[in-house]
Amino acid sequence: MWSSAAVKIFIAHLALTFSFGSTLRLYGAPYEGVLHRYTRPTFSKSDSRATGRIVGGEVAAEASAPWQVSLQNIYGSHFCGGAIISDQFVVTAASCVSGLQRNLVKVITSTNEWMGLAWQYDVEKIHVHCNFDKPLYSNDIALLKLATSIEYDDQTKNITVADEDELEEGETLTMTGWGSSVEGEWYEDELKVLKVQYLPYEKCRAAYGNSDDVDMGHLCTNSSVGEGACHGDTGGPLVDSQGRLVGIGNWGVPCGRGFPDVFARISYHADWIRTTINGCNPT
Ligand SMILES: *[C@@H]1O[C@H](CO)[C@@H](O)[C@H](O)[C@H]1NC(C)=O
Ligand SMILES: *[C@@H]1O[C@H](CO)[C@@H](O)[C@H](O)[C@H]1NC(C)=O
C-alpha cells in the first residue's frame, strides 16, 4: 500500500493544488485500480503472434524497474507496458495505442503492482510512428506525451535511451512486464522480470522462416522454452547490462514456446524519438 514517501508526495500534491489552483496540477492523480480486475486485453491482434507477456521469470524486486509503466484503460485494466524516457514522455508500442483516443489511455507509474495504489497520468498526445505496420509489424513504436510532468521518486525514474547498441550474440538483456504467466490466463498483478539473450537479426529471421516481418528496426531475444513474452507484455522495456533501453516489446509467438521475442530496436528509432519529442514530426 502507501509508503510514507508516497503519502508525503500526495500531501505535497494537495498543497500545491490548493495553493495554485487546480490548473497547476503537476502530478498524476492517486489511483486505485480495483475495477474490472479480470478484464481481458482491450486489444489483441487476431494473429497468434500479437501481444506478448512474460512466461517464466520471477517477480521483480520493488523499484527494480522504476521506468516501467502500465498502460490502462479508464476502468483500470492493464493492456500494455511502456517505459518512462523523460518526465513528459513514455515510449510504448504503436500496436498498443494506435487508433485510441488519448483520453482513453492512462499511464500508471510508481508501482510493481498494477492493481495497487500508484500514480495515474493523463495523456496529452499520442504519437504513433507514421510508418507503423508499413510494412506489417514494422515501426511498432509510439510516444505518449503526458498532460503533467512525471514526479520522479525511488520507484519512478526515466531510463536512458540507447542511441546505439553494440549487442553481441548471447548477451543478457532484461525484460519486464505484467503480462500473463500462462497463456490464456489473467495478467499478473506483480511485475515480473526475465533474463533473455540477444539474438542477432539474421538468426531471428531464420527462426521465423526468413520472414520479412523481422527487419533492421527489430531486436530479437531468445530464451528457453517456457520463458518469454506473453499477452500483456507488449510495449514494455528491454534493458541492456548498462541499464539502457534497447527495445520495446512488439511481437513473437507468445508465451514461451521457444521462438524469439521481437522488440522495436531503440537505437534504430532513436532519431524518431528525438525529433518527435522535439516537436518536429507532424504525427
Ligand atoms: C532523467 O533523469 C535524470 C535524473 O533525474 C535527469 O538528470 C535527466 O535529465 C533525465 N533525462 C531526461 C531525458 O529527462
Ligand atoms: C539462444 O541462441 C543461441 C544461438 O544464437 C544459443 O546458443 C542459445 O543457447 C540460445 N539460448 C536459449 C536459451 O535457447
Question: What is the reported pLDDT for 19?
Answer: 34
Please give the distance, rounded to the nearest whole angstrom, from the Cα atom of residue 132 to the centre of ligand 2.
29
Ligand 1, closest atom to CA 88? 14
Q: Is the per-residue pLDDT at 56 higher than 90?
A: no
Q: Give the pairing type, strands 192-199 and 218-222.
A: antiparallel
Considering every ligand atom shown, identify the ligand nearest to the alpha carbon of residue 158 and give its number: 1
Ligand located closest to 225 CA: 2
What local confidence, expressed as pLDDT, does residue 94 receive?
A: 94
Candidates 170, 168, 189; CA nearest to 179 is 189
| Ligand nearest, relative to CA of residue 223 | 2
Question: Tens of pLDDT along 249-261?
Answer: 987 665 666 788 8
Question: What DSSP line would sit under 237-264, residue for residue?
Answer: EEE-TTSEEEEEEEEESTTTSSSPEEEE
pLDDT at 237: 95
Which pLDDT belongs to residue 251? 76
Question: Which ligand sits nearest to residue 161's alpha carbon?
Answer: 1
Mean pLDDT of 54-60: 67
* Ligand 1 lining (C-beta closer than 6 Å): 86-87, 152, 158
For the cut 70, the answer to whether the pLDDT of residue 158 exceeds it is yes
pLDDT of 71 reads 92
Q: Are 261 and 237 in contact (CB under 8 A)?
A: no
Residue nearest to atom 1 of ligand 2 (CA): 222
Taking CA atoms only, the protein residue closest to ligand 1 atom 3 is 158
The more confidently predicted of residues 42 and 269 is 269
Rounded distance from Cα 135 to ligand 1 centre (Å):
34
Query: What is residue 30's predicted lDDT score, i.e. its pLDDT?
Result: 38
| pLDDT at position 26 | 28
Which residue has its alpha carbon closest to ligand 2 atom 7?
Answer: 170
What average pLDDT does the chain have? 76
Query: What is the span of the domain harbouring residue 115?
Result: 1-283
pLDDT in tens, 206-224: 988 888 888 899 999 988 7
Residue 161 is predicted with a pLDDT of: 97
Ligand nearest the Cα of residue 196 is: 2
Residue with the bigger pLDDT between 258 and 31: it is 258
Give the distance (Å) from ligand 2 centre to CA of residue 225. Answer: 11
Give ligand 2 pocket residues (Cβ under 6 A). Answer: 169-170, 197, 199, 203, 222-224
Is the confidence at residue 264, as pLDDT, over 90?
A: yes
170 CA → ligand 2 middle, Å = 7
The CATH number of the domain holding residue 254 is 2.40.10.10
Q: What is the pLDDT of residue 167?
A: 95
Q: Count the domains in the chain.
A: 1
Minimal-distance CA residue to ligand 1 atom 1: 158
Assess whether pLDDT exceeds 90 at residue 85. yes
What are the φ and ψ backbone dihedral angles of 265, each rounded to 5 degrees?
Answer: -80, 120
pTM, full prediction? 0.79
The confidence score (pLDDT) of residue 55 equals 60
Which of 35, 75, 78, 38 is closest to 179 using CA atoms?
78
Beta bridge partners of 238: 175, 247
**Ligand 1 atom closest to Cα of 161?**
13
Residue among 222, 225, 259, 261 to mutate when testing ligand 2 (max atoms within 8 A of CB)? 222
Chain position carrying cell 534497447: 246
Which atom of ligand 1 lies at the shortest distance from residue 157's CA? 2
Quote the CA–CA distance of 18 and 2 in Å, as a whole number. Answer: 22
For residue 242, pLDDT over 80 is answered with: yes
Residue with CA at minimum distance from ligand 2 atom 6: 170
- Output the CA 222–ligand 2 centroid distance in Å: 6
Percent of the chain at pLDDT > 70 equals 70
Residue 8 confidence class, pLDDT cut points 50, 70, 90: very low
